[in-house]
Structure 1
Amino acid sequence: MVIDSGAALPRRTEGEDRMFLALGRWCAHRPKRVLAAWLLLLLALGGAVLAYGRVTSEAVRIPGSDSQAALDTAARAFPGPASGNQPLVLHTAADGPLLTGETARAAVERSARAVADVPHVVSVVSPYDRPGGPAVAADGHTAYLSVGLDVTGRDVTPDLTDRIVDAAAPARAAGVEVTPGGDLAAAVDRPDTGHSELIGLAAAAVVLLLGFRKAAAAGLPLAIGIAGLAVSLAAVGLAGHLMDMPSSGTTIAAMIGLGVGIDYTLFSLTRFRELRGRGTAAAEAAALATATAGKAAAFAGCAVIAALAGLALGGLPLLQALALAPAVAVLVAVAATLTLLPALLSLLGRFLGSAPPAADPAGSGRPTGGWQRLAERVAARPWRHLLAGLALLLVLAAPAAGLAFGQLDAGDKPAGSASRTAYERLSAAFGPGVNGPLQVTDTLPTAPAGPQDPRITKVSTALAHTPGVASVGPAQISADARTVRWQVTPTTAPGDPDTARLVDTMRARVLPGATADGAGTAHVGGAPAAVADLNDRLADRLPAVIGVVVAVAGLLLLAAFRSPLLALKAAVLNLLSVAAAYGVLTAVFQWGWGARAIGLEGAVPVPGYVPLLMFAVLFGLSMDYEVFLLTAVRERYLETGDGRRAVVLGLASTGGIITSAALIMVSVFLAYLLSDDPVVKMFGTGLAAAVALDVTVVRGLLVPTTMTLLGDRGWWLPRWLDRILPDLDIEGAAHTRPAADAGPAVDAGPAVDAGPAGDAGPKADAGPAAAGERPDTGEADPAVPHPARPALPTP
């Protein structure tokens, strides 16, 4: 065969196509084995969760930071409880007994001894015996016990907290209210988002039932979504034993996993019903749906995971854990779409109904309806709609210019929660800074003479005279007399920006001046310092992470659609939609616009990891709809050669299904606004806003207008790039191309094995090969022009 050197040679990944088809066939013809395997997986993970539990941890580690250096130095020099000291807040009403009274004091002391006997409690410091002075408020109505545990924060369970609180029964009997704080409170305040998942599923059920008009068809995506949700939540919960997994990580995994699981199933089920409408048997239709829509779902899922993997550049364990959780959920959703779904499609085929196949765009049965009318209107006046869409996105994105990373603290928890109650009582009694003290460590080159050593006195004095410092505890000297530690209580709350500025002042001016004469190396640690370092690190790494995620997404789209201009266009439009989502996030949370409507009391700071993680998730999710729409446009272009008509027909044929999928995703995300956790509300609001904008403004206006204006240039591909790019055939169009469109018969080619006997469905790819295709592979032969396929533009 002679190949024209000037013609493009698409590289069809036939092995990959056959792999997805073979997987779909295997699962469709062995549904009971597949169902049994998934059931065993669920039982195994469920048993492991029952045995070991799903654990979370709010610990923050920033390798290489000053706060981490302070923490590590203190851990070596001052070994203590694994979890540090956790407060057990004691409080009496204004007309109640004073904690300094003899009766109340005796009850508190008995409670302290009882708490010390609780398993995992290694130390209890009475408020009357603290080394730095009594931990009793001036009015005598508030105090706290300091409880040391031999387990870290991730292993503090609600049961342990309850046992400690129950042990303080003598104090309660004396009229003292006992409230856990710190990790003890976090254990009992862990959010339960079960109601959010149920509401999201209910909303998805309504959308699916309206779309399919059949209960079985509407229920199948929900079943796949629930199965994937159960597996992914169990896996993420078990991963918490190996790494610090924030509680919001499991919620984000549930949010993303449920949304993409239902969406991927929806796309595959739609293709299955189309194939059934052509008369294809259920098992074969399930296999072909896996080789087409399932393959697209796998590509979209890999895009999400690749975008999340870009967060590894942040070099932060917290960010890696938050990226791992949704990545696991997406991976499980893809696995369920490729294995569990074809098995269920094969078993339930006769109950799922069918749909007429997509109409021939060149014939009289072309798509009609609201989406076609919208597409024709947009394509007829591209500049008007392009500018309108851009203006809307830019207006929504404007507040993002003022987005600043902040710190949430227990004061932002829901009213009535243990964390919030303990926080407010301690703040009112001892000042807001007591909820987030700073730890200053200084490693001396030579052992000090004692607490009155001039080097120690100089640092103590400098810290005490620093504006923003409420008090400085007595200097503690380590057993080896080389390390000194001070506890510094700020005048402001942990989440107050002034506390972060105090940390910067202490590091930049106060400590360098106090230790300039050889007084050692000082570090500032504590929770406020750690969060400040986290936000600084995120701000520094943000450009690199964004660049990598955009580059990865662009390369994936370039490989998928073989068009540099389309890949660049997609990256730019995705950046605009993410910026608009950031603007909504800033206005609602940082400015407080409408905050009460979503269950907040007012404005709250936005943690630095929220925008970064949201960026990766949104860039990955946007690939889903981008792939689905551009695949349809590309297929129409290859069939008609008319760029404008291809855009109209592509948008008309995919508008309905993309809208349904996005509506499900938005419903799932908005359901999480019912969570009490502000971080979960941030993700729910930001992701819902971004998906809604993506499917309306971006896919409905900006994509078709830019593609119409680009015309044939949008499909331009340099010859050198064409030679190295594979033709991924994301939607597997070769498997479902109607025979009527195949052109004159050349050679039937080898029949693909249709699986075990008993399936009456037609054999895929066994029909006549289209003119211009190689008889042995079905690959386009550039030496023979395709009768309905124009040559793509080349330079």
Structure 2
Amino acid sequence: MTRFLGRLGAWCARHGLVVLTLWVVAAAGLMGASLVLGSPVSNDATIPGTDAQRAHDLMRSGFGPGYETGGTVQLVLYAPQGQLIDKARKEAVERAITDIRAVPHVKQVDTPFRRGGIASNLQIGLITVRMEGHDPAKPAEAAQAVSRAAQPARAAGLEVVAADSSTPADKEIKTGPSEIIGVACALLVLVLAFGTLTAALVPIFTALVSVAAGLGVIGLLGHVADVPKQAGIMATMIGLGVGIDYALFLLSRHRKLLADGVPVQESVRRTVASSGGAVVFAGGTVIVALSALVLGGFPLLRTLGLVTGVSVVTAVLTSVTLVPALLGLLGHRVNALRLPFLGRRRGGDSSGWAGLGAWVARRPWRVLIGSVVVLAAITAPALALKLGPLDDGYAAQGSEPRRAYELMASGFGPGVNGPLLVVAELDEKAAGAQAPVVKRLSDAIEHVDGVAHVAPAKVGDTGRTVMIQAIPDYAPSDSRSADVVHDVRALSVPGAKLHVGGKVAALTDAGDRMAERTPLVIGVVVLLSALLLLLAFRAPVVALKAAVMNLISLGAAFGTLAMVFSVGLGSRLVGMDPPLEASSLQTFFFTVPIESYVPLMLFAVLFGLSMDYEVFLLTAVRQAYLRHRDNTRAVAEGLGSTGRVITSAALIMVSVFVAFIAYPDPMVKTFGVGLAAAIAVDATIIRGFLVPATMVLLGRANWWCPRWLDRLLPNLSVEGHEEDDHEVRPGGDAGHGQREDLPEPVGARG
């Protein structure tokens, strides 16, 4: 890989204009095609094999698509003064209903002046619209068309708000100023790190091209696969972070070589041959971690992980091709536009980090104990992590979904925002005596603890399917709603087999499936990542230790998430708005549930990103160790040579992730907080203190490899081991001939 990457980098440097043109044309073409042809997205949050999915399938076959979640639009009416039943207002509502019936794809409109359609205060009512034949992937557009037709009601002084009946996969997350803020912060960090504007712009430009190409590919993939709406924002977050970081690692190595007097073309070749290998390996670990999400049993999560991996692939490709092309074109002008107030910056200026490395190496036990205590304190709140579905009660204050949610909860109770759709399959005998069976079903459901109201039953065309809507006492995000789902499913009615669907039931099944599959996903990710490290460094101790360190950084991320969202200490700071009627204490400790699939997605992303820093630090320590065989000195030198670059890379990634906290969507806020906290802890406490301390204490055992395992492993090279090794060892091929009882560095013997 080293020789291949070296040749690739040299070719790109010699043909810089060609490579630059190809990438710009490819990125523009992919984005243009995505805009012209459209970027289809799927709101399919189904989980095959679950009870909720079975209920939805029965609804579709027995009642048609209009009775499913995506086929119903509800308009909430509110009379700020007076009542809905006043003559003038009632006539205005009837005119609005007439206009709504003329909207394309509207099959049925239920007036609010019916049983259960108007609140007891007579100020809040519901118009329920059944849709048929519309695009189920665009529920928001259907709701907007229906809402526009209700203009006569608005003209009469009524507030009309479209309720959001979508699932989490329906939420369209639009790009906004967060990307600009993230890029601006990254540029500032790069300018401070390099001291020159030209060098700082290289990673920014590369990352933007990478993200544009990745988003174009993702948009076009929507024509052949189900792509969730969250894919674009996740790809942008991860793509910007890793794209800038990978280019930063390469650029730092190149500037150091230039400062040492190496010619431009040779410097680019050596940079891509060495640091390019680490970039490819680091990107591979992220992709492996994301790919493991296919085992989660949740199609939405699986597709989200695979599609997000596209942004990582484009980041790696641009790093090993576009970056060397730009470096070849710029030559020594890469250090142009130097900012005088920052002084001169050498690529290898790291005396401060070298001093820290020496300080850690002199007192490893104290550093180890101190780091463990600090990390334990950060991780401890993770025990209070509260998982659960997010409802529109957590949407931005003043938004239409939040307003509709609050009006419905005020008029009909919080459970009306998450009704349970109970679907019963009747056997032949029960179908022949429908009335008594249906009554027993309704009575049984009504007597379940936590059920506030049961709507009249509906019987399908075949007479074998019965649907009953049950309104819980609790909001969709309340954990007690899931208990109601399980209790209803546990009912036994002779002649009928019950299934429970609806948004709450589907999210409950998703949470159960995630809890069931999480150990499998974690085990596979840890095992594969450790195996990749073993292949790269041929050192079992290093591979095992790296996996453990990454798990520790994940603990810190979950601890921060729990403190901010589950405990509520900081939820206001990230833009979460408590209910208007909340007390001052509830406002200060405003808790927000975390979607059940978020921890698993965070685990995969963070495990891969954490491995990036582990690879860059370990390669520097290993190279130093192979030169002089002094483990303590190698740890200090490795931290000194990589500390500044890793810190700059972490600052960039943290800046990008923090910028995305400004998004109004709670899911994006959750990812932003978790990713930023984990990267900050990983690049400082773990890579700066814990990893060096453990490596000093382990000594030569870090690089020990049994002879039998050394023979089995293929001879890979990360960060240019083959080049460096043959310069410092007389004879022999790297990586073979280890004695099992002697913990010498891998490849030290011929």
Tell me the TM-score normalized by structure 2: 0.91
**SS state at 2:125 partner:** strand
**Amino acid of the structure 2 residue aligned with 1:730:** V
**SS state at 1:726 partner:** coil
**SS state at 2:193 partner:** helix
Cα deviation, 1:369-426, whole Å, max 9, x if unaligned, reads 2212211111111111101101111111111123232111011111111111111111
Measured after TM superposition, the shift of residue 503 of structure 1 is 0.7
**Aligned mates of 2:180, 2:746 — CA distance in 1:** 50
2:660 aligned residue: 672
Cα deviation, 1:549-607, whole Å, max 9, x if unaligned, reads 11011111111111101111111111111112111111110110111111113210011
**SS state at 2:466 partner:** strand
**SS state at 2:421 partner:** strand
2:505 aligned residue: 529
1:221 and 2:208 correspond:
no
Paired residues of 1:109 and 1:126 also in contact (CA < 8 A): no
1:311 and 2:296 correspond:
no
Kindly tell me: are residues 188 and 708 of structure 1, through their superposed partners in 2, closer, same or farther at Cα, counting changes over 3 Å? closer
**SS state at 1:61 partner:** coil
Kindly tell me: are residues 434 and 64 of structure 1, through their superposed partners in 2, closer, same or farther at Cα, counting changes over 3 Å? same
1:84 and 2:71 correspond:
yes
Alignment of 1:278-677 (within 5 A): 278-353=260-335, 369-446=351-428, 448=430, 453-508=435-490, 511-512=491-492, 515=493, 517=494, 519-601=495-577, 602-677=590-665
**SS state at 1:144 partner:** strand
1:122 and 2:109 correspond:
no
1:684 and 2:672 correspond:
yes
Kindly tell me: are residues 456 and 70 of structure 1, through their superposed partners in 2, closer, same or farther at Cα, counting changes over 3 Å? same
**Aligned mates of 1:238, 1:522 — CA distance in 2:** 41
**Aligned mates of 1:246, 1:780 — CA distance in 2:** 44
- Which of 772, 777, 794 is 2:731 aligned to? 772
Kindly tell me: are residues 666 and 243 of structure 1, through their superposed partners in 2, closer, same or farther at Cα, counting changes over 3 Å? same
Cα deviation, 1:704-757, whole Å, max 9, x if unaligned, reads 1111111011111000111121232211244578xxx936xxxxxxxxxxxxxx
1:256 and 2:215 correspond:
no
Kindly tell me: are residues 454 and 619 of structure 1, through their superposed partners in 2, closer, same or farther at Cα, counting changes over 3 Å? same
Kindly tell me: are residues 729 and 44 of structure 1, through their superposed partners in 2, closer, same or farther at Cα, counting changes over 3 Å? same
Cα deviation, 1:498-527, whole Å, max 9, x if unaligned, reads 11111111122xx22xx2x3x132111111
Cα deviation, 1:159-194, whole Å, max 9, x if unaligned, reads x55443332221211112221222589999744442
1:233 aligned residue: 215
Measured after TM superposition, the shift of residue 92 of structure 1 is 1.9
1:53 aligned residue: 38
**Aligned mates of 2:735, 2:477 — CA distance in 1:** 62
Measured after TM superposition, the shift of residue 44 of structure 1 is 2.8
How many aligned residue pairs are there?
Answer: 722
**Aligned mates of 2:216, 2:484 — CA distance in 1:** 41
Measured after TM superposition, the shift of residue 234 of structure 1 is 3.2
**Aligned mates of 2:484, 2:170 — CA distance in 1:** 32
**SS state at 2:570 partner:** coil
1:104 and 2:92 correspond:
no
Measured after TM superposition, the shift of residue 238 of structure 1 is 4.0
**Aligned mates of 1:53, 1:275 — CA distance in 2:** 45
Identity in percent = 44
What runs of 5+ residues in structure 1 fail to find an aligned partner? 1-15, 360-366, 744-769, 784-788
2:585 aligned residue: none
Q: Which moved more, 1:101-110 or 1:379-388?
A: 101-110
**SS state at 2:360 partner:** helix
RMSD of the alignment, in Å? Answer: 2.6
**SS state at 1:524 partner:** strand
2:178 aligned residue: 196
Kindly tell me: are residues 44 and 145 of structure 1, through their superposed partners in 2, closer, same or farther at Cα, counting changes over 3 Å? farther
2:134 aligned residue: 151
**Aligned mates of 1:677, 1:40 — CA distance in 2:** 33
**SS state at 1:87 partner:** strand
**SS state at 2:487 partner:** helix
Paired residues of 1:451 and 1:475 also in contact (CA < 8 A): no
**Amino acid of the structure 2 residue aligned with 1:378:** V
**SS state at 2:506 partner:** helix
1:767 aligned residue: none
**Aligned mates of 1:493, 1:393 — CA distance in 2:** 35
Q: Which moved more, 1:350-359 or 1:604-613?
A: 350-359
Measured after TM superposition, the shift of residue 432 of structure 1 is 1.1
**Aligned mates of 1:290, 1:311 — CA distance in 2:** 31
**Aligned mates of 1:570, 1:335 — CA distance in 2:** 25
Paired residues of 2:385 and 2:566 also in contact (CA < 8 A): yes
Measured after TM superposition, the shift of residue 207 of structure 1 is 0.8
Alignment of 1:698-717 (within 5 A): 698-717=686-705
Cα deviation, 1:98-126, whole Å, max 9, x if unaligned, reads 3223322332232233233334x332413
1:40 aligned residue: 25
**Amino acid of the structure 1 residue aligned with 2:529:** A
What runs of 5+ residues in structure 2 fail to find an aligned partner? 337-343, 578-589, 739-743
Measured after TM superposition, the shift of residue 648 of structure 1 is 0.8
**Amino acid of the structure 1 residue aligned with 2:654:** V
Measured after TM superposition, the shift of residue 318 of structure 1 is 1.6
**Aligned mates of 1:150, 1:41 — CA distance in 2:** 37
**Aligned mates of 1:104, 1:651 — CA distance in 2:** 73
Measured after TM superposition, the shift of residue 60 of structure 1 is 2.1
Q: Which moved more, 1:594-603 or 1:707-716?
A: 594-603
**Aligned mates of 2:616, 2:565 — CA distance in 1:** 33
1:748 aligned residue: none
**Amino acid of the structure 2 residue aligned with 1:664:** I
Kindly tell me: are residues 459 and 780 of structure 1, through their superposed partners in 2, closer, same or farther at Cα, counting changes over 3 Å? closer
**SS state at 2:85 partner:** coil
**Aligned mates of 1:689, 1:211 — CA distance in 2:** 21
**Amino acid of the structure 1 residue aligned with 2:190:** L
Cα deviation, 1:407-456, whole Å, max 9, x if unaligned, reads 11011111111111111111111111111111111111116567852222
**Aligned mates of 1:266, 1:137 — CA distance in 2:** 60
Kindly tell me: are residues 468 and 214 of structure 1, through their superposed partners in 2, closer, same or farther at Cα, counting changes over 3 Å? same
